[in-house]
């Protein structure tokens, strides 16, 4: 009888789930450096149903920084089977130089199951700038305090296999339009910030099939391996080019037809299972790519108001959209140890309460067919909600069923005007044009080379501080904006008329005396020789002549 009881006891032990155990931790980075990826392999044995679901299992890296700050870094599953040795990854970018202490903690259904031995590593000081954060309404700044403004463009996806454009189908389907080409071209033209999407046809991380993009392979894995590899490459490429990404994460494959839990978008915002699925997705994204300083911002939605009114007869409750954003932005801020910027966007309809959420750092909207209102729109929203405001998309035309070549000059001029209007407005990221393939094909996007030098000059002169200048005596048909950056003043003048125009430009200065003026030709990028003027009664008066359909920037400095 005793022998039978013993055998039964042993059999029951085999049926019980094995206790989780972290068996080894390996630091893969020989010499950790501040702001760069420090990578670990963690080997553990544990039981799970799905290692990507945090309600099932999680692995976290508990970190104490050199100054004593406590951080929790989410880690991610790499490979292996439940109940057998598996490999997990930690990717961490130290924001401080010096000695770090750490320990890995594995949890099962929210309860700690295993902890690793405590370890240490030392991060050497780096010449890098660190992660981007909000400085003020005019600029962002890095961890080291260096200011930054985004000279930006939408590069939202690589070419699709089948495009529905009436006139530009061949252009849009060209394999030329991949990240390798587009990002290198953009960077060489002076761009430093771009926006891209996760969606069914681009970076479809949680879709299994139906991509309309042969760059990705169907897979039954929870996160598509071909997409994960592409995102790894996108991050590394952006980092090598000095580019910063606004990653629009979108709702993901939430629909029941794609393996999700919701039958429609309305349910997605309120379904507890869909929300948990989204949080698991956020956790993986932060764990795998959050280390990168090239992530300029996490964006939840593209034009969430259009999602709201997808069914015009039965629009989604605005309250549910706002509550969802409040919950997800709060969660993301708690999850992300680096404090990346968080944002979301609307097309043109405001959703009450969305602009006021505590954990949304930057508000956004999109403007088409009305680029002239960009400056006043930015100022209006910032005054009302006391947050930086960004125009995430703009363009002369939004309707892809039209032939843009019929009004190509208007498209080009609008592209340029949006950049200059943004540069002279209190926005940390310049308005981002749409139709990236079209402007590349025409060579229009080389114009970033004209805007970037003035942007850099402003940042250097004011060390990231900007102050609007009130301009007076401007002729009726002339558009003019002024900005003071440290000891330099910049005035933008635009004559849209088909004939030459004259105008007076007057503005107050801190003191009377001698000043120098340079004129920058916005089309050629050439700067005229220096001229001298005298400010009387603390006022500068500059009579100006502008050619037909022409613009320029005046750069004024005290002697």
Looking at the fold, whether 223 and 256 belong to one and the same domain comes out as yes
What pLDDT, on a 0 to 100 scale, did the predictor assign at position 3? 47
pLDDT of residue 529: 85
User: Both 308 and 426 in a single domain?
Assistant: yes
Cβ atoms of 430 and 151 within 8 Å: the answer is yes
Clarify whether residues 277 and 302 are in a common domain: yes
pLDDT on residue 6: 44
CA-closest candidate to residue 502, choices 535, 523, 476, 469 = 476
Over residues 432-436, mean pLDDT: 98
Using the predicted structure, report yes or no on whether residue 323 has a pLDDT greater than 50: yes
Q: Distance of CA 117 to CAs 23, 27, 294, Å?
A: 9, 13, 32
Query: Residue 90: its pLDDT value, please?
Result: 98
* Neighbouring-strand partners of residue 99: 122
| pLDDT at res. 19 | 81
pLDDT of 300 above 60: yes
User: Do 357 and 455 belong to one domain?
Assistant: yes
Task: Give the rounded distance of the alpha carbon of 34 from its chain centre.
Answer: 22
Instruction: Give the residue from 547, 491, 358, 431 showing the smallest Cα distance to 191.
Output: 431
Q: What is the C-alpha separation between 436 and 415, in angstroms, rounded? A: 11
Q: 550 pairs with which residues across the strands?
A: 495
**Cβ–Cβ < 8 Å for 230, 247:** no
Mean pLDDT, residues 198-210 taken together: 97
Same-domain status, 314 and 454: yes
* Predicted pLDDT of residue 18: 53
Residue 199 shares a structural domain with residue 259: yes
CA neighbours closer than 13 Å in the CB half-sphere of residue 59: 35
Q: Which of 18-27, 90-99, 122-131, 490-499 has the lowest mean pLDDT?
A: 18-27
The domain boundary, picked from 461, 490, 524, lies at 461
Q: Give pLDDT tens digits for 411-433.
A: 999 999 999 999 999 999 999 99
Dist. CA 259–CA 238, nearest whole Å: 31
Q: Give a yes or no: residue 4 inside a domain.
A: no
Q: Residue 81: what pLDDT?
A: 97
State pLDDT tens for residues 165-191.
999 999 999 999 999 999 999 999 999
Q: Residue 97 contacts by C-beta under 8 Å, 6 or more apart in sequence? A: 34, 66, 123, 124, 125, 126
Bridge partners for 224 per DSSP: none
Tell me the mean pLDDT in the region 502-530.
96
Q: Does residue 14 have a pLDDT over 90?
A: no
**What is the average pLDDT across 368-386?**
98
Tokens of residue 453, six digits? 């030098």
**Cα(320)–Cα(500) distance, rounded to whole angstroms?**
53
Domain closes at, from 123, 145, 168: 123
Share of residues in the chain with pLDDT > 90 (%): 96
Query: Where a domain ends, among 91, 123, 155?
Result: 123
Measuring CA to CA, how many Å separate 216 from each of 204, 206, 230, 235?
8, 12, 9, 17
Q: Which two tokens stand for residue 537?
A: 């009664």
Q: And the tokens for 112?
A: 């700690």
d(CA 504, CA 476): 11
Q: Average pLDDT of 283-311?
A: 98
* Token pair belonging to 114: 């295993």
In this structure, is residue 6 part of a structural domain?
A: no
Its domain, for residue 251, covers 132-461
pLDDT band for 13, please (50, 70, 90 cuts): very low
Number of residues that this document lists for the chain: 559
pLDDT for residue 354 is more than 80: yes
Tell me, yes or no, whether 299 lies in a domain. yes
Confidence of residue 1 (pLDDT cuts 50, 70, 90): very low
pLDDT at position 245, please?
98
How many structural domains comprise the chain?
3
CA distance readout (Å), 6 to 2, 3, 17, 135, 497: 6, 5, 19, 68, 97
| Per-residue confidence band for 353, with pLDDT thresholds at 50, 70 and 90 | very high
Task: Name the band, by pLDDT with cuts 50, 70 and 90, for residue 502.
Answer: very high
Considering just the CA atoms, what is the radius of gyration of the chain in Å? 27
CA distances from 69 to 15, 103, 119, 504, 558 (A): 42, 14, 16, 56, 45
In a domain, 1, yes or no: no
Residue 128 to residue 36: CA distance in whole angstroms = 9
58-77: average pLDDT: 98
- Clarify whether residues 437 and 488 are in a common domain: no
- In degrees, rounded to 5, the angle at the alpha carbon of residue 19 between the alpha carbons of residues 14 and 21 is 130
Tell me the backbone φ, ψ of residue 364, rounded to 5 degrees.
-145, 155
pLDDT at 9 over 50: no
Say how far residue 93 (Cα) sits from the centre of its chain.
Answer: 18
* pLDDT recorded at residue 277: 98
Does residue 227 lie within any of the structural domains? Answer: yes
Element at 531 (helix H, strand E):
strand 531-535
Of 2 and 448, the structure prediction assigns the larger pLDDT to 448
Can you list the alpha helix ranges (DSSP code H) found in 93-164?
none
Pairing of β 488-495 and β 531-535: unpaired
Q: DSSP string covering 399-465, please?
A: -TTS-GGGGHHHHHHHHHHHHHHHHTSS-SB---BS-HHHHHHHTGGGGHHHHHHHHHHHHHHHTT-
């Amino acid at each position: 009888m005793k022998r039978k009881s013993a055998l039964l006891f042993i059999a029951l032990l085999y049926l019980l789930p094995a206790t989780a155990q972290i068996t080894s931790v390996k630091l893969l980075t020989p010499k950790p450096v501040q702001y760069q990826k420090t990578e670990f392999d963690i080997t553990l044995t544990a039981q799970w149903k799905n290692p990507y679901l945090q309600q099932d299992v999680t692995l976290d890296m508990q970190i104490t920084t050199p100054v004593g700050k406590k951080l929790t870094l989410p880690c991610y599953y790499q490979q292996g089977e439940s109940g057998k040795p598996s490999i997990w990854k930690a990717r961490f970018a130290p924001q401080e130089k010096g000695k770090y202490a750490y320990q890995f903690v594995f949890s099962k259904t929210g309860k700690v199951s295993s902890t690793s031995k405590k370890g240490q590593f030392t991060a050497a000081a780096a010449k890098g700038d660190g992660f981007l954060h909000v400085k003020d309404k005019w600029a962002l700044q890095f961890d080291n305090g260096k200011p930054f403004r985004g000279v930006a463009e939408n590069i939202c996806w690589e070419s699709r296999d089948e495009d529905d454009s009436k006139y530009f189908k061949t252009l849009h389907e060209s394999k030329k339009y991949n990240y390798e080409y587009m990002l290198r071209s953009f960077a060489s033209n002076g761009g430093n910030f771009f926006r891209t999407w996760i969606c069914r046809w681009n970076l479809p991380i949680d879709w299994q099939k139906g991509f309309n993009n042969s760059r990705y392979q169907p897979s039954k894995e929870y996160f598509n391996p071909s997409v994960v590899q592409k995102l790894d490459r996108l991050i590394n490429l952006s980092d090598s080019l000095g580019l910063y990404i606004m990653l629009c994460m979108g709702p993901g494959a939430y629909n029941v037809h794609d393996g999700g839990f919701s039958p429609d978008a309305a349910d997605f915002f309120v379904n507890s299972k869909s929300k948990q699925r989204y949080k698991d997705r956020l956790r993986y994204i932060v764990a795998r790519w959050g280390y990168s300083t090239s992530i300029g911002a996490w964006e939840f939605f593209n034009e969430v108001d259009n999602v709201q009114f997808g069914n015009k007869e039965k629009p989604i409750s605005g309250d549910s959209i706002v509550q969802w954003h409040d919950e997800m932005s709060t969660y993301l801020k708690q999850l992300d140890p680096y404090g990346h910027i968080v944002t979301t966007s609307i097309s043109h309809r405001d959703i009450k309460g969305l602009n006021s959420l505590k954990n949304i750092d930057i508000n956004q909207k999109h403007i088409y067919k009305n680029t002239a209102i960009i400056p006043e729109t930015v100022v209006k929203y910032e005054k009302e909600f006391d947050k930086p405001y960004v125009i995430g998309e703009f363009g002369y035309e939004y309707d892809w069923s039209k032939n843009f070549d019929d009004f190509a000059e208007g498209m080009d001029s609008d592209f340029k005007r949006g950049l200059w209007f943004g540069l002279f407005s209190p926005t940390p990221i310049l308005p981002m044009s749409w139709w990236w393939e079209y402007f590349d094909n025409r060579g229009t996007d080389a114009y970033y080379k004209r805007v970037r030098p003035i942007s850099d000059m402003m940042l250097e002169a004011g060390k990231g501080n900007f102050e609007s200048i009130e301009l007076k005596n401007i002729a009726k048909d002339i558009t003019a904006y002024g900005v003071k950056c440290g000891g330099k003043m910049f005035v933008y003048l635009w004559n849209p008329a088909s004939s030459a125009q004259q105008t007076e430009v007057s503005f107050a200065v801190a003191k009377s005396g001698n000043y120098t003026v340079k004129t920058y030709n916005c089309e050629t990028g050439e700067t005229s020789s220096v001229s001298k003027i005298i400010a009387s009664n603390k006022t500068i008066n500059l009579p100006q002549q502008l050619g037909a359909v022409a613009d320029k920037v005046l750069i004024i400095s005290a002697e």
